[in-house]
């Protein structure tokens, strides 16, 4: 369902206006990224959409890089598309800036590196093996429901030192969160939030050495974190890694199902999976963060005014042929996919979970292809994907011979 049209501000040239609802982009056969690429091909480097409250969308890699890298000109505090309802709490740390943002972020970073990273990945790999072993003889599955959504939940549980048994409860809710009905969705979000709040209260009373305890004992700007901040930050670590990881895995799985030569090559040369994972990730950007112009600024002669919201479809960076030759092709022999791909963003908000997510993609491909090397899309049950702040794979039926 499309949202209403906001008035076009006077400083926005009519030639840059496109009626694009970032929550309602229609996949093309069944690839949502091809639909985005088509939009990019038809658009100037920066467009203005009157949907979702009205906002800019950088369409080309160089504009995305400029917005993400200039934290003075483009701020995160309060920025979201569509705008946050009045009175709602900012998402932590993603909707904060400067010193406050650095403090929030410092509580997460020790848990996404070194031993906690390794422990989380070991747990995710063990679970991936268990899940694929369980699916192998069935000959079919819904990849999102039966495989992809479980891994990021297991990773989160590892970071916060909670038992694997909680995974089934959270994954049932994750399934509801993907449903189209907003009321059902909000109810499931509320229950996930309540789960996190309960764990926060347990750790405030009885701290350990896990991430929740670290956040709960954190100090920002010379004062202790409030309970709302603690719960909000823990929730964002869960939500930040849930749909993003599960959906990217889904887009990759769908692509592998339809591209036999690529799949066979990865099966024959499995070392390429970890060596070339960035090239695979580049092709499937999923996140759509937002910024707000802090002051009037000019882009290639275009006026962006202070307060203007900007939606950054990171996927468009990886699809720009001015940056990547044949961007729709996963080219395992591409000379370098380089650290400048923007699937995980860049600048001070660059995804703290990037190493976790990279490793989750590697272990998924390694463990799946080893056990189910040949699989296909199901002709009468197409993949269901959706665009938005995270481009999601809601359902991906796959089949294979047993
Ligand atoms: C494929 C998976 C993932 C993708 C594509 C992704 C993408 C992104 C992007 C583009 C940003 C930058 C947002 C901005 O500039 O405003 C971001 C931030 C963030 N991500 Fe991820 N992410 C992924 C997985 C994860 C995981 C596994 C975690 C769990 C630790 C996580 C937690 C976060 C958090 C907490 C932030 C906010 C960081 C800040 O504001 O400083 N993400 N992510």
DSSP sequence for 168-237: HHHHHHHHHHTSS-HHHHHHHHHHHHHHHHHHHHHHHHS--SSHHHHHHT-EETTEEPPHHHHHHHHHHH
**Closest ligand 1 atom to 155 CA:** 27
Q: Which two three-digit tokens encode residue 228?
A: 């709302």
At residue 85's C-alpha, the angle toward residues 246 and 182, to 5°, is 45
Which residue's alpha carbon is at the smallest distance from atom 27 of ligand 1? 241
DSSP state of 20: -
The conformational region for residue 386 under phi > 0 = left, psi -120 to 50 = alpha, else beta, is beta
In a domain, 8, yes or no: no
CATH number of the domain at 350, please.
1.10.630.10
Compute the distance between CA of residue 308 and CA of residue 74 in angstroms, rounded to an integer: 10
Element (H, E) at 257: helix 227-258
**Closest ligand 1 atom to 93 CA:** 40
| 260 CA distance to ligand 1 middle (Å) | 31
Q: Which residues pair with 28 in a beta bridge?
A: 31
Amino acid 339: pLDDT: 60
Q: Is the dihedral of CA 210, 80, 319, 393 positive or negative?
A: positive
| 244 CA distance to ligand 1 middle (Å) | 8
Q: Which residues contact 64 (CB under 8 A, 6 or more apart)?
A: 58, 312, 314, 316, 317, 342
Amino acid 334: pLDDT: 85
Number of structural domains in the chain: 1
In a domain, 7, yes or no: no
11 CA to centre of own chain: 32
Element (H, E) at 394: strand 392-395
Amino acid 180: pLDDT: 67
Q: What is the CA radius of gyration of the chain?
A: 21
In a domain, 6, yes or no: no
Q: Which two three-digit tokens encode residue 232?
A: 């909000």
**Cβ–Cβ < 8 Å for 53, 82:** yes
DSSP state of 242: H
In a domain, 242, yes or no: yes
Q: Please give the full DSSP string across 320-381, using - where no structure is assigned.
A: -TTTSSSTTS--TT-S---TT--TT--GGG--TTHHHHHHHHHHHHHHHHHH----EE-TTS
| 114 CA distance to ligand 1 middle (Å) | 18
In a domain, 4, yes or no: no
Residues of the chain with pLDDT under 70: 1-2, 180, 336-339
Whose structure tokens read 């990019």?
40
Ligand 1 pocket list (CB less than 6 A) = 68, 76, 93-94, 105, 108, 112, 152, 236-237, 240-241, 244-245, 248, 286-287, 289, 314, 343-345, 349, 351-353, 356-357
Supply the range of the domain harboring residue 138: 14-399
**Cβ–Cβ < 8 Å for 354, 248:** no
Angle between helices 227-258 and 150-159 (to 10 degrees): 150
In a domain, 24, yes or no: yes
In a domain, 2, yes or no: no
End-to-end CA distance of the chain: give it in Å, rounded.
40
296 three-state secondary structure:
coil
**Cβ–Cβ < 8 Å for 73, 305:** no
| 108 CA distance to ligand 1 middle (Å) | 11
Q: Which two three-digit tokens encode residue 327?
A: 């961007």
In a domain, 171, yes or no: yes
Ligand 1 binding pocket mutation candidate from 316, 353, 357 (most atoms within 8 A of CB)? 353
Compute the distance between CA of residue 266 and CA of residue 14 in angstroms, rounded to an integer: 47
């Amino acid at each position: 369902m499309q949202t209403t049209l906001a008035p076009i501000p006077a400083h926005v040239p009519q030639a840059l206006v496109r009626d694009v609802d970032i929550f309602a982009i229609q996949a093309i056969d069944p690839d949502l990224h091809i639909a985005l690429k088509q939009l990019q091909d038809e658009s100037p480097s920066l467009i203005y959409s009157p949907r979702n409250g009205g906002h800019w969308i950088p369409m080309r890699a160089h504009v995305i890089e400029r917005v993400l890298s200039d934290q003075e000109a483009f701020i995160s505090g309060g920025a979201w598309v569509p705008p946050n309802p009045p009175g709602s709490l900012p998402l932590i740390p993603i909707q904060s800036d400067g010193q406050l943002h650095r403090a929030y972020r410092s509580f997460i970073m020790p848990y996404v590196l070194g031993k906690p990273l390794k422990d989380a990945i070991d747990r995710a790999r063990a679970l991936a093996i268990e899940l694929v072993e369980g699916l192998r003889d069935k000959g079919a599955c819904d990849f999102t429901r039966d495989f992809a959504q479980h891994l990021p939940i297991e990773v989160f549980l590892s970071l916060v030192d909670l038992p694997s048994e909680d995974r089934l409860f959270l994954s049932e809710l994750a399934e509801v969160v993907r449903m189209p009905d907003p009321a059902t969705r909000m109810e499931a979000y509320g229950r996930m939030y309540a789960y996190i709040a309960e764990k926060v209260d347990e750790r405030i009373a009885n701290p350990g050495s896990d991430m929740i305890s670290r956040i709960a004992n954190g100090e920002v700007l010379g004062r202790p974190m409030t309970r709302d901040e603690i719960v909000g930050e823990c929730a964002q670590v869960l939500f930040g890694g849930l749909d993003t990881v599960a959906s990217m895995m889904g887009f990759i799985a769908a692509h592998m199902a339809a591209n036999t030569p690529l799949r066979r090559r990865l099966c024959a040369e499995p070392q390429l999976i970890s060596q070339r994972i960035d090239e695979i990730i580049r092709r499937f950007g999923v996140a759509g963060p937002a910024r707000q112009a802090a002051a009037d600024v000019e882009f290639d002669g275009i006026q962006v005014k202070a307060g203007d919201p900007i939606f950054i479809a990171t996927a468009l960076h990886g699809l720009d042929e001015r940056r990547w030759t044949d961007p729709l092709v996963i080219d395992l022999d591409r000379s370098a996919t380089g650290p400048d791909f923007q699937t995980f963003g860049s600048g001070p908000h660059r995804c703290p979970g990037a190493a976790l997510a990279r490793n989750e993609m590697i272990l998924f491909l390694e463990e799946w292809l080893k056990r189910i090397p040949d699989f296909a899309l199901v002709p009468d049950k197409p993949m269901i994907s959706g665009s938005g702040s995270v481009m999601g794979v809601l359902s991906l039926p796959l089949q294979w011979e047993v």
